[in-house]
Every structure is written in C-alpha cells, then in structure tokens.
Structure 1
Amino acid sequence: MSQNIVDREQYRPHIHYTPAANWMNDPNGLVYFGGLYHLYYQYNPYSSSHANMHWGRATSTDLVHWQEREVALPEHKHQVFSGSAVVDWHNTSGFGQGRQPPLVACYTGHTADNQAQFLAYSLDQGVTWTYHDEPVLDLGKQDFRDPKIFWHAASAQWIMVVVHPVERQVELYGSGNLREWTSLSIFGPVGFTGGIWEVPDLFPLEDETGRTHWVMKVDLNPGGPYGGSGVQYWLGNFDGQNFTATTSARWLDHGNDFYAALTWNDLTGRRVWIAWMSNWRYAHDVPTLGWRGAMTLPREVCVCADPDLPTLAQRPVPELQALRQHWTDLQGGGRFSLTEHQAHEVLLQWPALPDGRVILEFHSASGCELSVEVVLEEVVVRRPATVSTTLLEGYSGEHRGKLPSHLTQHDLHIFLDASSVEVFAAAGRIVISDLLFPSEAIREMTVHVSGLEPASFQGELWSLNSSTP
C-alpha cells in the first residue's frame, strides 16, 4: 500500500458520512420519503476543493448506514448552491403525475454576479430530477441564498426562509404553489453579526410541558465563538408571517466544527438534523487526500424547559446504538485501551458536587491528542496542535461550554472517530463538535476522577462497528 493511501485513510471516518472522493460541504434537501432518509449535499465531483457545486446524494434506512448515490443535481447553467426539499403531497406545484407526489427541491442558482432561487422536481423518489429553468425568486442580488422551505399548516401555505448574507437578515416568504412567492417579513440584523449570515432553518418544537417553541437557526462566517464559522439560534413564536424571538441569540455548538445544520422535512414525531463538520477558517486545508469534508452524526433536537430559560438540546439519534460492539465498565476511572481502526462511544455520569472534577485524556504513541474536562460547571475540550495541523490556522485551542447551574447530575456522551470528536453534556444542552487530526491513531483513554466517591462515578466505553460500506 502506498504512503499516500495510508495518509488518506488515516482520517477517514468510521461512523460519519463522507463521500468516497472529492469535496463536500453543506447538507441540502433533507427529506424523509419512501422509507428513506434522503441526504443531499454540496459536492464537487471533480476535485477535493470548493468549486463546481452540484448536489451529491446519499440515502439511508436508519440514519446510520449511508449509501452514496449518483449526483442528483449537476451544475446547470449555474452552480447548484444550498437549499432544501419537500414532498409536495397535494401537488400544489403541478409537477406531479398520477398519484405519486413529486419531490420538489428549492436551491440557490449561483453565477458570478447573481444568486436566485430555483426549483427542480423528481417523480421517482429523488433518483432523477428535472429542472424548472426559470427562477421562482430573483431580486437581482449577488448574495441571496440558502432557501429552507416547509409546509405551515396553520396558515395553509409553504414558507421559505432565505438569507440576505451581507445585510445579516433572514427574509420569510409565503406561497401556495412553490412557484410564486410573496414576502412576509424580515428578521434581523440581530444577535451575532460579526460575519455574513448563511443557511437558515425555522421549525417548531414542544418542550416537556407541552409548550411550543419555534427555533430560528442561522449560521455566520466569520464571527463564530472562536473567530471562524459559528451557529446561533433563537427561541420564539411564528404566526405564519413573523418570527418573534423570545430569547437572545445563543451559540448552538461550542466547538469549532459544526456548520449549516438542516432538519429533515416530512419526518413525523421527532425533529432530526445533521451538519457539515468543518470550519470555513481551514476547511480547504484539512490534511486529507482525495476527499475533503464529512457530516456530523445525526442528532435529535428538543427544547428543555429549564428553570431560568428554555434551552435547545441536541442528542445523538438512538439508532446509533446498533453500532455498539464491545463494552468496558469505566466505574471509578482509570486507564483503558481503545481498539485500533474503530470508532468509540463513551457515556459517563456522576453527582454534580462542588469539588468534583473529571478529566479524560486520549493518547496515541506520540502523547495526548485530546482532553475533555468537566469542572466548576464548565465543559472544556482541549485540541492541541499536531504535525498534521500546522497549516490549520485556528485549529488548536480550548473550546468551552458553561453547564446549567441547576443540575444535580453531570453527564458526558462522547463519540470519537478517526478524525472527529462530538461531546454532548447536560443531556445535550451543551455540545462541542471538533475535527481531530491526531499525529498517530489514538490507542488509550485515561479517566481521572477527583472529589467524588469512586462508586458514584459510572461509565461505559463501547467500541463501534463501522457504518460505512
């Protein structure tokens, strides 16, 4: 095996979706239809750099095992930038034939001097697509993109949320047929405005008391919590015309590598999203060869009715438990071996005591490649520089999330893959998502516990089967 192949495969994920080759970024067109989770994404089929944007395609029956498919929407008179897809159950668009409802994608058509919103439709459950060549929303602007569309039953209309990036605004539009759109309202500028706004989403969630909250999510670049990309959200109300925030803007993920998250349309009973796991600050320079870009693990999204303020929480989808293979008891802490060429899952729980402190260190033969610490109501992930990351500006450092003060128990849920770590704390209220490019493969985890009775510290370590073909 050549050294190039060894280097390329060193960081290929075991449980995160990435195409076999070339560049990938934002998820697009997430929709559940025909028993399949459809995942489209920004894709360059010619190289591992950002250019020539098409919609790549993958499908899954369980949100865990993904099968890469042929390109869905190739470059067509313009680059096919980010967007969304819906099942047009009642054929409001007129694209359907017979009883089969069409899948309709709404995306940004990008040229050097203009961005406008276009449609494409599929009559075979997302396999092949037909372009509707005329734009359905064109303001003659250079920056106007990323439409997320959904059906709003209460006002009996399709809603589109789309960004004006430079103005730091989200505009809401309404339509009865997906072809003709009327402006409803504008949200922003507000919250974090240190970079352009991108990839909005708007959706309702019920908390455990039955109260409905609408979530407005907007990405920005730069201006994130560590200077690069970031994601902010508000909770509030939506009446079919206006979104009114009832909270201030908060960071959705406290790591460096979570961007462009979108929720699946037409998924009944729960809300699930996935994001691009990278950061525009160094996305073009990550040390992979032949491929570049991966998705986060899919996450269920919910709202916790906390005493001080309702809070958005993200939790790994339970379908991931099907990957669990070998189990190790972590009670009391200690030193534990990790299985080579596999991903791992760590679950920890302990009393939230003032003097309690838990530190996890992940070691390769070259030394500590990652640490996760919980102390004084804060989660800290430390990502040191390695020989593979010397060119990645903004890679090394500490990423922090403050835990709620009302907790009586602390918990950590960690997924460690070949080139990433996702840390969920406080039942998903705090999430830290980071790419990880260790000098050598991580072989050992050390769990340091202080200020706690050994029996009160409970934990599990799982090696995970690969979800990739």
Structure 2
Amino acid sequence: MTFPNPKLSRRHLLAASAAVVVAFSAASCTRGESPTPVPTPGGHRPSPSDPWRPVAHLTAEKNWLNDPNGLVYHAGTYHAFYQYNPRGNSWGNMSWGHSTSQDLVHWEQQPVAMEASLEEEVFSGCIVMDKDNASGLGSAETPPMVAIYTSAYGKNGPLPQGSQAQSVAFSLDDGTTWKKYQGNPVLNLAPTNNNFRDPKITWYEPGHYWVMTTVVADAQVVKLFKSTDLLHWEYLSDFSGVGAQGGLWEVPELLHMDVADSTTKKWVMLLSINPGGIAGGSGMQYFVGEFDGTRFTAENAAATDAPLNESQWLDHGADYYAANSISGAPGDKPVLLGWMGNWDYAQDVPTTPWRGSMAIPRELTLVRGAKRLELRSAIARVAHETLNHSGEVKSKNLTVGSSTMDLGPDFSGRTQVIELDMDLTSAREAGVLLRQSSASKDGLRISYNRESGGIRVDRSKAGTSNFSEKFSPFHEVAVPSPGSKVHLTILLDSSSVEVFAPVGTAVISDTFFPDWDNTGASAFSIEGETDFTVQSRSL
C-alpha cells in the first residue's frame, strides 16, 4: 500500500493519513456498519462517453482502485480484493474492494468487503484458506478464509494515530462477508511504526508453518515472521541491503519455484519500489536465492549503488506495480495480478467515473539465464485461453521497405491481441503503429531495433498526456540475443498495452489515453526491408 506522495517524511505521512481518515462522516463510517454495496458492471465496454474503459482488465465500475490484495482461488472462483475508495475517484478512505472471475478476464464487481472507518483504514494484505482451521476462526466443516491486512490507525484506534500494524479478518461464506478478529492487531512493532505494512503469507512446508513477509517501507527493509495459527507471529529475520532502493519498498512476497528443465527449486522475492523503478516512478524488482526457514539470502543480486539495469525487473514499462500471486491458483506456476498504475501520475489520469485498473494476470517461470536465474512472464494460461476464444483471427503477410504501410480494417481496433513476427532482412528498425489517427502518423509506436535488440513502446504521440509532466514518453528493453527476427505478443486494450518480448524475457506495460476515433494500424520499416506476419484477434 502506497501513500500518494512517497517522498513525504514520516511526520507528514502521519498527518496525511490522519487528514484522510478525518474526512469521513461519523454517520456513514461507524464501526460495525454493513459494507457499502457497489453495482455490478454488467459487461461495461468503452464508449464515446467512457472511451478508456478496459475490456480485458479488471477495473471498478466507479471510483479509485489500486494495489491488488487478498488474491485467492477458491471453489472454482478467482477472488481479487484491492485497495478501493468507495467515496471518490482519488486515493483515500482505503477499503477492500472485491471482484470475482471464472477466467481472469471477465470480472464481476462485488460489494465492498471491508470498509474504512474513523478508527482504521484497511491497507494492503493477503488471504489464505485455513483448510485445517488452525486459527480456530472457523470449524472443520467450515474452514475460514483468513485475511491478514495492514491496519492504518486513525482517531480512537488501539494504537497511536498514523501507526500501522497487521490485523486479521475472516470469512465463513466464501469471501462474501468479513468479520474482524477481536484480538487485532496481531502483529505490531515496538515502538509503533507508521510504515510497517503489506503482509503476504507463504506456506513453508519443511517447518509446517506460515511465513509472513512485510516491510518497513521507508527503511527499505523486508521483515519476516512465522506462525502456526495465523494469529500469533514470531520474528524471523530482516532482508535488506541489496538491489534498487527507491524511496519505499512495498508489497514483498516469497515464492518457492521450480527451475525450468531441472530438479532444482529456488526461492524468489518479489518487491515493489516507489519511486526508483527502471522506467521511472513505480516499479517491481525481484531477487532469486535461498530461504532456510528463517532467512532469505539473495544470490547474484545487484549492489545498492549499482545502475538500475543491473537489478532484475519484473516489467520494463511504467505501469506495473504491487503484483502478488493468487493463493491456491491451479497449475504449477505462480499467477500474478498487478496494478496498472504509476504513482508519478496515477491520481491525475483523465478517466472518469473510474480510475485505476489491473494488468492482465501473468504466470511466471524461473529459468537459467546467461549470468543468473531469471523470471520469464507470459499471459496466465486461463486468461490466455479466454482471449484466444474472443473473436475471429485475422492474418496478414507483407513486406515493407523503408516506408509505412496501412494494415487495413482487420487490424484497426481499440482492443485486440496481436501476434507479431518481424524479420528485419535489411532494415535497421521496424514495428507497428496502433490506435493511429487518420490525419497523421500519430499513434502508439511499438518497435524493434536489430542492432541493439531493443524493444521500445513510445506513447509520446498516442493520446492525451498533458495531465502530468511525469507521464514518461517511452520505455524500452533489450532482448538477450538480438538478431534480425523477433516475435512479440501485444495485448492492446482501450487505454493500455502489454508487450511481451520473445519467450517472455521481458514485458513492457504502459497506459495511454487515445482519442476515440483513433483506430488505425500500420507497419513501418526504417532503412531497409522488413517481412511482417501479423495475426490479430479483436476482443
């Protein structure tokens, strides 16, 4: 959970949090009040009056949304809880919104799960199924769904105003309604801390206990704890002193993963930082190493003073943050859901009555790279299968020589999945323009440079951008082995693009805000010929 301005001092953060909580009316936010219902979107699609509404990405029907929380798969349903403001279209009144899905593409919004009060805002956290009822909060017949979240205390809370600690809530009806544990908070620091947050739970099988990762965000420290009942927590160790530091470390998670094509398993620490990301502002780095039940040790990690490109990044675009895995998701690979936003400008983007969306869920694979173990990303299998059945495939082969060629109406759309193969037989650079205007060459420019192996997403002329000076114009990443041929998977939605590099070596996730009428598409080649094969499926 991030405050809107991460550069504020701890004193100012406390004041900012207090100001948000005081904004509630006592009549509407008394303890024990039933959750505020939110209408179900019912299949909203973009329209001239709501041109940037996503089709294939989770968003709220209205109001502010950010970090995903409490991601869990249970009884055939994916549950996504998330930071949500039930009373406005900007950060504040932090509560847990709730949406459900069967396929990770189509989402149905549910009533607010846990709403903020004068005493407590409900910051980021996680959910696990306590199938053996170790917490005692349910029964053998009805095991509880247990949420562990950060309490950000306001006036009349059990801890000083502005302090943060970890608390428990539970559900006995598959996440529909939630009750807070009477012994909250279950984990606190002494003295109390205003930036102690973001619990995520991992089961550690050798020790038969849960491990919680949390952060002291402004100190760039991950703190680890263990528990056998989810209620009583014992300190294990700290993780710090490597990688990009940024202003804040947030939303950590430990994953135990197979190394592809081997019998080896490794632990991976995911970590969001803000600011200080590879594309500016918010970003996500990761570390690979060992966890012995007490301490996580990173291997081949970048030093704190190393250039940013020596750290390992989960995404090279500007809009991928706070991703964490879906507990209990089918399959043998972690499935992540991340927020498609950047704190440099997230509160200023021009969408209304909603603001904020999630990225497409992706699954991770751990492989041996040239120098160290690396993560590979792909659209999650369930989501990929859904997208593959969304519409008719259109295909086109063409050769473009030092020019730009219109791809025609089959590729002119606001939302589509594109499989793009390019062979730069003599060209220096080639790519596609999407959401292109009819009167000019403006549009979202996605290109590959044969000499550098660089993939670039340029949104500088792709639509409205005057809402923030920090809305960076382009982002790029180099593929490991540059050559003349490249394959890109492009998920284009109404106001976002996710470009997956060959075999998932990198992803660039960016938001952009095009004019409604800009739906053209073309292919271009620079300083030579390029052979293109383009396949598109409209959403």
* TM range, smaller chain: over 0.9
* Pairs aligned (count): 459
Q: Deviation digits for residues 243-267 of structure 1, max 9, x if unmatched?
A: 1111323122111111100101112
Letter in 1 for 2:80: L
Distance 2:312 2:429 in 1: 26
Q: Name the TM-score, length of structure 1 as normaliser.
A: 0.92
Shift of 1:34: 1.0
What SS does the corresponding residue of 1:324 show, helix, strand or coil? coil
1:166 alignment partner, one of 218, 233, 239: 218
Q: What aligned pairs does 1:177-188 form with structure 2 within 5 A after superposition?
A: 177-188=229-240
Q: What aligned pairs does 1:123-134 form with structure 2 within 5 A after superposition?
A: 123-133=172-182, 134=184
Q: Deviation digits for residues 289-315 of structure 1, max 9, x if unmatched?
A: 211100001111111223333221111
Distance 1:308 1:189 in 2: 21
Deviates more, 1:340-349 or 1:58-67: 340-349
Q: Deviation digits for residues 68-93 of structure 1, max 9, x if unmatched?
A: 10111112430000000000111111
Residue number in structure 2 paired with 1:467 = none
Structure 2: where are the runs of 5+ without partners? 1-45, 154-160, 302-310, 400-404
CA 320–393 in structure 1, closer or farther in 2 if over 3 Å, else same:
farther
Letter in 2 for 1:331: N
Distance 1:8 1:175 in 2: 50
Shift of 1:213: 2.3
1:260 alignment partner, one of 322, 335, 358: 322
Residue number in structure 1 paired with 2:287 = 234
Distance 1:259 1:393 in 2: 20
Distance 1:302 1:186 in 2: 26
Q: Name the TM-score, length of structure 2 as normaliser.
A: 0.81
Letter in 1 for 2:536: L
CA 356–385 in structure 1, closer or farther in 2 if over 3 Å, else same:
closer
Deviates more, 1:9-18 or 1:315-324: 315-324
Find out whether 1:301 has 2:396 as its counterpart. Answer: no
CA 239–441 in structure 1, closer or farther in 2 if over 3 Å, else same:
farther
Find out whether 1:321 has 2:387 as its counterpart. Answer: yes
Distance 1:347 1:14 in 2: 18
Shift of 1:163: 0.5
Find out whether 1:45 has 2:91 as its counterpart. Answer: no
Deviates more, 1:417-426 or 1:340-349: 340-349
2:113 alignment partner, one of 61, 65, 72: 72
Q: What aligned pairs does 1:176-255 form with structure 2 within 5 A after superposition?
A: 176-210=228-262, 211-248=264-301, 249-255=311-317
Letter in 1 for 2:375: L
Find out whether 1:348 has 2:431 as its counterpart. Answer: no
CA 119–193 in structure 1, closer or farther in 2 if over 3 Å, else same:
same
Distance 1:402 1:448 in 2: 20
Deviates more, 1:78-87 or 1:373-382: 373-382
Distance 1:219 1:278 in 2: 12
1:373 alignment partner, one of 423, 444, 447: 447
What SS does the corresponding residue of 1:154 show, helix, strand or coil? helix
Residue number in structure 2 paired with 1:335 = 406
Is contact 2:315–2:506 with CA below 8 Å preserved after alignment? yes
Is contact 1:7–1:288 with CA below 8 Å preserved after alignment? no
Letter in 2 for 1:55: W
What SS does the corresponding residue of 1:226 show, helix, strand or coil? coil
Distance 1:403 1:454 in 2: 18
Shift of 1:383: 1.1
Deviates more, 1:114-123 or 1:387-396: 387-396
Is contact 1:272–1:298 with CA below 8 Å preserved after alignment? yes
Residue number in structure 1 paired with 2:499 = 423
Residue number in structure 2 paired with 1:358 = 430
Letter in 2 for 1:16: H
Residue number in structure 1 paired with 2:187 = 137
Residue number in structure 1 paired with 2:131 = 89
RMSD (Å) for aligned C-alpha atoms: 2.2
Q: Deviation digits for residues 200-227 of structure 1, max 9, x if unmatched?
A: 1110221322322211111111112233
Between the two proteins, what is the percent identity of the paired residues?
38
1:15 alignment partner, one of 56, 77, 80: 56
Residue number in structure 2 paired with 1:403 = 479
CA 272–129 in structure 1, closer or farther in 2 if over 3 Å, else same:
same
CA 442–428 in structure 1, closer or farther in 2 if over 3 Å, else same:
farther
CA 419–33 in structure 1, closer or farther in 2 if over 3 Å, else same:
same
Q: Deviation digits for residues 272-297 of structure 1, max 9, x if unmatched?
A: 01111011011111001211100001
Letter in 2 for 1:214: W
Is contact 1:167–1:189 with CA below 8 Å preserved after alignment? no
CA 188–374 in structure 1, closer or farther in 2 if over 3 Å, else same:
same
Distance 1:173 1:7 in 2: 50
Structure 1: where are the runs of 5+ without partners? 465-469
Distance 2:516 2:439 in 1: 7
CA 386–370 in structure 1, closer or farther in 2 if over 3 Å, else same:
closer
CA 354–273 in structure 1, closer or farther in 2 if over 3 Å, else same:
farther
Letter in 1 for 2:419: L
CA 228–181 in structure 1, closer or farther in 2 if over 3 Å, else same:
same
Q: Deviation digits for residues 75-124 of structure 1, max 9, x if unmatched?
A: 24300000000001111111112412210000000024200000000111
What SS does the corresponding residue of 2:386 show, helix, strand or coil? helix
Distance 1:338 1:12 in 2: 22
Q: Deviation digits for residues 22-42 of structure 1, max 9, x if unmatched?
A: 000000000111111110000
Shift of 1:61: 1.3
Letter in 2 for 1:189: G
